[in-house]
Amino acid sequence: AQSVTQPDIHITVSEGASLELRCNYSYGATPYLFWYVQSPGQGLQLLLKYFSGDTLVQGIKGFEAEFKRSQSSFNLRKPSVHWSDAAEYFCAVAPGTYKYIFGTGTRLKVLA
């Protein structure tokens, strides 16, 4: 069955530190891959997406993600975290259909 795993439920980093959020998927082929961010009580904002081509994808707010086919991963990174980055982050895959499969989310806390 298709699935998306975000192994870290909570992550805490200090402001200015680097960040990596993990995402692994289970699917026979390469799906479309997405990262979204959700602030409390808000909808989801698209950070970046991967469809094909360059496996290192640049997104908004200084985020980037790298698709690694051999590891079935699409990890999100940011070199220097800002306090405003505190939010819930969701990885999603679209396995060739219109539907998304969401991971369970990673809640990021940023220490001043």
Partner 1 sequence: GAVVSQHPSRVICKSGTSVKIECRSLDFQATTMFWYRQFPKQSLMLMATSNEGSKATYEQGVEKDKFLINHASLTLSTLTVTSAHPEDSSFYICSASRPQTGQETQYFGPGTRLLVL
* Contact residues: partner 1, CB under 8 A: 32, 34, 36, 41-46, 49, 51, 90, 94, 98-100, 102-105, 107
Closer CB to partner 1, residue 68 or residue 99? 99
Residue 12 to residue 79: CA distance in whole angstroms: 15
What minimum distance in Å lies between the beta carbon of 18 and partner 1? 25
* Closer residue to partner 1 in complex, CB, 28/40: 40
CB of 80 to partner 1, least distance (A): 27
Which residue is listed with tokens 């940023």? 110
To partner 1, the closest distance from the beta carbon of 23 in angstroms equals 12
Residue with tokens 């895959």: 93
Q: Which residues of 51-68 are buried (b: 16+ CB within 10 A; e: fewer)?
A: eeeeeebebeeebbbbbe
